[in-house]
Amino acid sequence: MDWQLLDRDREIWDRELATFVPPKVFDSHLHLYELSHFNGPPPGLVAKGPASAGWAEFQKRIAEIMPDREVTGLAFGYPQTTVNFEAANSFLASECKRPGALSQMLIHPSMDADLIRETVRRDGFVGLKPYHLFATEKPTFNAHIPSFLTDEHMRVAHELGLSITLHIVRSQALADPSNQEVLRRYATQYPNARMILAHAARGFNPHHTVVGIESLRGLRNVWFDTSAVTDCGAYEAIIKVIGHDRLMYGSDFPVSHIRGRCVGLGDNFLWLTPDNTKLDAAYADVQFTLVGIESLRTLKVAALACGLSDEQVEDVFFNNGAALFADRRIS
Ligand SMILES: [Zn+2]
């Protein structure tokens, strides 16, 4: 029952979220893609969804999770080892030639810097989307940042003032000393690059962001997106140490439309889904809801815990993204 909004999902929205989510939303982390742009069978997560997920399809789908909101955003392709980079980037560029739709180029560490520079200029990309699955270091879940986001590509981002949505990996994410060292060095050495650390600096286990967040204090070209985080603690750490003005809402569409929840477990994290979790509690009819709804609830808990005002909540949902891309074209 992925890709399907049920009555019980809507009830959670009506009861808890309708009064929390402001009317204007800048979604800082969303994927647009076509299944035909993958070589071989499409990745499981998207295979059950629409064959073509362009801007209009995204609008239709995100309205299921947050109805009646005016949604602009920052889009990029769906990164998989089987993706055809050229087709995915062309599709993205053509889908985002409209007001309120910004886009980042999907990049591979082996790409020539001139190719990136020319493509960004030609297609109007505002930033870059590297991904650990393309890292030269294996296994990629343990890759150091430079093996999937190189100094050469950082230099291009600095030159052109590009944003970069970076999903850090390694088991301890932001608590990992080598990640901390590279993030500080990149942010300092390339000050015009705008680093967006995806998933609250991959705070799927919130303790890693809580432990590591101090390492980024004082860096003014680092932001965080909320995408697909469904466990409490990481958003709060970012708001308290870095500031609410550096946290931006992100849906992680299409991940928003799967049923599940990612929880910190021991020193790791686990994606609970209907496929790996038996819901046979005696005390109630326990059911999953959509990741997009779980993540909004988690953000609401953080806003309450940190005492954010309504205006500050509007900042997280819209104004922080608008300020980050003030020289671009969000309406
Ligand atoms: Zn994503």
What are the boundaries of each domain within the chain? Answer: 7-324
Whole-number pLDDT of residue 1:
82
Which pLDDT belongs to residue 109? 98
Cα of first residue to Cα of last residue in the chain, in angstroms, is: 35
Cα–Cα distance measured from residue 97 to residue 74, given in angstroms and rounded to the nearest whole number: 12
Contact at 8 Å (CB) between 312 and 300?
no
Nearest to 12 by CA among 66, 61, 49, 62: 66
Torsion sign over Cα 302, 306, 311, 312: negative
Bridge partners of residue 194, in order along the sequence: 163
Q: What spacing in Å lies between the alpha carbon of 252 and ligand 1's midpoint?
A: 5
For ligand 1, the distance from its centroid to the CA atom of residue 313, given in whole angstroms, is 22
Q: What is the DSSP string of 305-318?
A: HTT--HHHHHIIII
Rounded to the nearest angstrom, the distance between the alpha carbon of 285 and the centre of ligand 1 is 30
Q: What separation in Å is there between the alpha carbon of 106 and the centre of ligand 1?
A: 12
Between the CA of 197 and the centroid of ligand 1 the distance, in Å, is: 11
pLDDT at 331: 46
Q: What is the DSSP string of 188-224?
A: HHSTTSEEEEHHHHHTTSHHHHHHHGGGGTT-TTEEE
Report the separation in Å between the CA atom of 31 and the middle of ligand 1, taken as the mean of its atom positions: 6
Question: Alpha-carbon distance 249 to 297, whole Å?
Answer: 12
Compute the distance from residue 18 Cα to the ligand 1 centre, in Å: 24
CA of 316 from ligand 1 middle (Å) equals 18
Assign residue 127 a region: left if phi > 0, alpha if psi is -120 to 50, beta otherwise? beta
Question: 199: CA distance to ligand 1 center in Å?
Answer: 8
Beta strand 268-272 pairing with 261-265? antiparallel
pLDDT of residue 330: 53
Q: Running DSSP on this structure, what letter comes out for residue 38? A: B
CATH superfamily of 7-324: Metal-dependent hydrolases (3.20.20.140)
Cα(62) to centroid of ligand 1, in Å?
15
d(CA 174, ligand 1 centre) in Å: 17
Given a cut of 50, the residues of the chain with pLDDT beneath it are: 331
